[in-house]
Amino acid sequence: MNKERYKQLTDKIVPKENKVKNAITAFLVGGLVGLLGQIIVFVLENNFDVAHKDATSIMIVILIFIASLCTALGFFDNLVSKAKAGLIVPITGFAHAMTSSMIDYKKEGLITGIGSNAFKLTGSVILYGVVSAYIFGTIRYVFFGG
């Protein structure tokens, strides 16, 4: 079977993903996560007298904990495959990627499994974040004085 024929056949069988529906789901789910973040900050500031800076940090910790726990319990993957970018782009995606790469390689041991694979997916975020922040920061500091 040549390649074109193969592609025609698979195109027929593989269900087409509805891009509009995906986009709306991502918008709604992502928006709800952002709204949840704002609600947590609001409650912490007004009901627990936490300073604004600390409240945002605690909010990040809470979201990361929820995402890590849901990943460890095993149902976050299902949610991600439904909501897609709505859960991947917020900080929940970062926690999900970290926890799932650790838990997937757990059976290979503490060092060669968990240790060396912990940053397998999140490594790119940290690497390119740091490199780009360093370059942009240097440019701004040298040319515009910080």
Partner 1 sequence: MIFLYSFLFCGLVCLIGQIILDNTNFTPGHVTGLFVVIGAFLDSFGLYDKFIKWFGAGTLVPITSFGHSLIHGALNAAEDKGLLGLLAGMFSLTSVGIVAAIVFGFILTMLFKAKD
Binding to partner 1 in span 32-61, by CB under 8 A: 32-35, 37-42, 56-57, 59-61
**Residue 130: burial class (beta carbons within 10 Å; 0-12, 13-18, 19+):** exposed
Nearest distance in Å: CB 10, partner 1:
16
Residue 1 vs 142, nearer CB to partner 1:
142
Check binding of 146 to partner 1 (CB under 8 A). Answer: yes
Residue 13 vs 73, nearer CB to partner 1:
73
Residue 1 vs 110, nearer CB to partner 1:
110
**Residue 127: burial class (beta carbons within 10 Å; 0-12, 13-18, 19+):** exposed
Q: Answer for the pair 118, 98: CB distance below 8 angstroms, yes or no.
A: yes
Q: Which of 9, 43, 51, 126 binds partner 1 (CB under 8 A)?
A: 126
* Rounded Cα gap, residues 146 and 143, in angstroms: 8
